[in-house]
Structures are given as C-alpha cells and as structure tokens.
C-alpha cells in the first residue's frame, strides 16, 4: 500500500514538471513529501492541489519554495491554521481551505493582496476580521458556508458591498446566497 502511494506521488510530480500544475490530491499524505522539493527544484509551480489528504499543517518552506502559485487547494485536510510564509506567494488568486479545522481565519490571509477567491466553507470558523476583509481590494468572492459564525459577524459580512459572500447554513436569515452589490 505505502509503495503504491509513493509511486503515485512520484508520477504526479513528474507530470507536474511539464504542466506547472501539481496534483497531490487524495494521496493520504500526512505531510508534504520532501520529494516534492527535490524533484521540483527548478520548476515554476502555478497550480497546486493538496486537497483530500491528512495534512495538519502546511510547512513554512512550501510557500517559500513555490512563490509563483496562483491557485492553492488545501481543502479537505486537518489544517487549523496557515503559515505566515504564505504571504510569500504574492500572486495567489485562489485559495481553498474548505473542509478543515480552522477556527480563526489566519491573519496571513488578509495579507494576500491579489487574492480573488477564498473558499473557507465547512470549517469551524467563529472569528474573522471583517474590517480587514473589506480592505482586500482584489477579493471578489468568499465562501463561508457551513461555519458556526456568530450572528453579528454574519450580519457584518452581508453588509460588505465589494464582493460576494456565501454564508448558507451560517446565514442568520437562512439564505443560500446573498450577493451584495
């Protein structure tokens, strides 16, 4: 079983070298393998999918080594936070952290100046800074569905007029989608 997983990871890394897209989704990873850093030493990575694994943290060296990523999918892992070094990925436009164990939106997210879409649904989010979200001028959509956000916070989010806010079950009025223009 472990041998098959290693072979799967190595094959996907080889594929990534040509496409600048690394797909290590659903590989049962508990950490980002060192082979990723070694085998992709001279590769510019644009898209990275680490979803559906067992990651409890994203190593701080990952964003430092792959600063050119524009889309990062960390969904369906066991993350509780993100490393401060994520700010090194200056052109990150899409970030998926859905289906994790994040309670407080990490402060580094507010520093991602080119972020357009943030998917943070299905976490255990109870805290985020609405004022800082409003300052994220590139952000056009944030998905916070299925989080236990306090009613006051949900109300503040729905008042944002710059981007689409998806609240779903955590929306105090029960709307599936509230688009504020």
What tens digit of pLDDT does each residue of 58-73 get? 999 999 999 999 999 9
Please give the average per-residue pLDDT across 9-31, as a whole number: 92
Please say if the pLDDT value at position 180 is more than 90.
no
Q: What does the pLDDT read at residue 178?
A: 41
Please say if the pLDDT value at position 173 is more than 80.
no
Yes or no: domain 2-170 corresponds to CATH 2.30.40.10 = no
Q: Is residue 55 within 8 Å of 29, Cβ to Cβ?
A: yes
The residue ranges of DSSP E strands in 25-177, in sequence order, are 47-49, 71-73, 94-96, 117-119, 141-143, 164-166
Confidence tier at 169 by pLDDT (50, 70, 90) = low
For residue 22, the cross-strand partners are: 48
Q: Which residues have CB under 8 Å from 78's CB, separation 6+?
A: 54, 55, 56, 100, 101
Please state the pTM of the whole predicted model: 0.89
* pLDDT tens per residue across span 75-125: 999 999 999 999 999 999 999 999 999 999 999 999 999 999 999 999 999
Confidence tier at 5 by pLDDT (50, 70, 90) = confident
By DSSP bridging, strand 117-119 and strand 141-143 are parallel
Confidence tier at 163 by pLDDT (50, 70, 90) = confident
């Amino acid at each position: 079983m472990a041998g098959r997983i290693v072979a799967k990871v190595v094959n996907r890394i080889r594929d990534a070298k040509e496409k600048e897209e690394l797909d290590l989704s659903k590989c049962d990873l508990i950490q980002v393998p060192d082979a990723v850093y070694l085998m992709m030493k001279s590769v510019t990575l644009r898209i990275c999918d680490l979803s559906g694994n067992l990651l409890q943290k994203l190593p701080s060296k990952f964003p430092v080594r792959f600063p050119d990523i524009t889309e990062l999918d960390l969904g369906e892992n066991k993350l509780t936070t993100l490393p401060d070094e994520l700010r090194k990925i200056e052109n990150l436009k899409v970030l998926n952290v859905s289906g994790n164990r994040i309670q407080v939106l990490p402060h580094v997210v507010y520093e991602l100046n080119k972020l357009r879409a943030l998917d943070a649904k299905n976490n255990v989010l109870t805290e985020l800074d609405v004022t800082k979200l409003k300052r994220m001028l590139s952000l056009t959509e944030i998905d916070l569905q299925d989080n236990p956000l306090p009613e006051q916070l949900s109300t503040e989010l729905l008042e944002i007029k710059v981007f689409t806010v998806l609240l779903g079950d955590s929306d105090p009025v029960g709307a599936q989608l509230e688009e504020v223009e």
